[in-house]
Amino acid sequence: MEFNLNEETKMLQSSAEKFCKEKSPSPFVKNMIKDEKGFSEAHWKEMANLGWLGLIYDEKYGGSGGSFFDLFILFEEIGKTQLPSPFLCSAVFAGLLINEAGDENLKKTYLPPVIQGEKILTIGLRNEQGQYDHAAAALEAKESGGGSYVIKGTRILVPYAQVADEIIVCANLKGEKASGPTLFKVSGKASGLKKTPLNTLTGEKTFGVVFEDVKVSEKDILGAIGKGTTYVDKVLPKVITLKCGEMVGGLSKVLNMTVDYVKQRIQFGRPLGALQVVQHYCADISTFLDTSRLIAYQAASLIDIGFPCAKEVAMAKAWCSDAYKKSTQIAQQLHGGIGFTEEHDLHLYYKHAKVAELDLGDSWSHRQKVAEEMGF
């Protein structure tokens, strides 16, 4: 048991902290909500140049073969300032799926441009209720002869679909020889794709995508037919853990904002923070932060060394989901009216906490996973 970051990680952390603070102050984040693209092209280029997008990928694809734990630290910093970008959906989720399922040729074609930030990929794995349904996908792929397929159905909450070069989906393939859940990549410009921007809590760019008989070929299949669920399940723990990193970062910002505010705000002739009830609320947020950080670092660190950790990942997402959300609720209470305004920054985190909770399984669903791992 050791709880310090090594020197290399610390350096990466401080450069990421500086980058996020500089590039992503809250007025910028708020502007991006109204922006059509939803992120800055210039930032995206810089993130690629800094090597962030390729951090965990093999050098032969242009990555740097770095550690997953370091990637986690990046997401913690991103979470602090809510820097918007397609990092998670493109260079992590889609990239890892290609890395996991794709053959060498596909990896060589797709990973380098994703790592360079030249191509943006996204993920359409959520059904009309917003649930990940890769185990029994409502999206269908029918054989249409000559090695072609037709995809039909609806995906929602597809991040950055408007700029995505490819959307990766898991469709239930019905073929003569083989069938089952299968990963496809679908060109963002394919005819029959209908994208509708969704106005969600955070305002992050996300879309409903209707597949009206979208034509794909067998070359668009990632990996083996019928193995889509397996690939996604293999990659999900990493995505979930990075989401926890984002949440831990957000939570630490919420604690800082709240402590600063109650030190400055004078009521009853003294700072609010001198009131014991307020102090105890702040101690509670501090406890939520320490506990979330420990349980999430554990998951990231075990993934990093290749230790089996399905339970640890589920514990992290279950705990962080609750802890972050509760902390933003306490923070709202302690900020009073000002925290409820659009002008203030607190709402960014209040919203992010809820959306992050609902993404990739909330605390209840991850507790089910923990129970399963316990042999219940």
Q: Which residues bind other proteins (CB under 8 A)?
A: 1-6, 9, 69, 259, 262-263, 270-271, 273-274, 276, 278-280, 282-284, 286-287, 290-291, 294-295, 297-298, 300-302, 305, 307, 312, 315, 318-319, 364, 367-368, 370-371, 374-376
Q: How far is the CB of 326 from other proteins (least distance, A)?
A: 14
Q: Looking at beta carbons only, is 42 or 374 nearer to other proteins?
A: 374
Looking only at the bridges linking them, the beta strands covering 166-174 and 121-124 are parallel
Q: How far is the CB of 193 from other proteins (least distance, A)?
A: 39
The neighbour count for residue 167, using CB atoms within 10 Å, is: 28
Q: Looking at beta carbons only, is 32 or 299 nearer to other proteins?
A: 299
SS3 for 158?
strand
Q: How far is the CB of 34 from other proteins (least distance, A)?
A: 35
Kindly give, in sequence order, each residue whose CB lies less than 8 Å from that of residue 277, ignoring residues fewer than 6 positions away: none
Q: Looking at beta carbons only, is 191 or 276 nearer to other proteins?
A: 276
Q: Looking at beta carbons only, is 60 or 263 nearer to other proteins?
A: 263
Long-range contacts of 53-57 (CB under 8 A, 24+ apart): 53/87, 53/90, 53/91, 53/95, 53/114, 53/115, 53/116, 53/117, 54/91, 54/115, 54/116, 57/95, 57/99, 57/111, 57/115
Find how far residue 180's CA is from the centre of its chain.
26
Q: Looking at beta carbons only, is 157 or 278 nearer to other proteins?
A: 278
Q: Looking at beta carbons only, is 128 or 362 nearer to other proteins?
A: 362
What residues are paired with 214 via a beta bridge? 151
Q: How far is the CB of 127 from other proteins (least distance, A)?
A: 23
Q: Looking at beta carbons only, is 123 or 296 nearer to other proteins?
A: 296
Closest CA to 244 of 159, 158, 310, 315: 315
Q: How far is the CB of 9 from other proteins (least distance, A)?
A: 8
Q: How far is the CB of 306 from other proteins (least distance, A)?
A: 11
Q: How far is the CB of 128 from other proteins (least distance, A)?
A: 26
> DSSP label at 151?
E
The neighbour count for residue 42, using CB atoms within 10 Å, is: 9
Q: How far apart are the C-alpha atoms of 56 and 68, rounded to whole Å?
A: 6
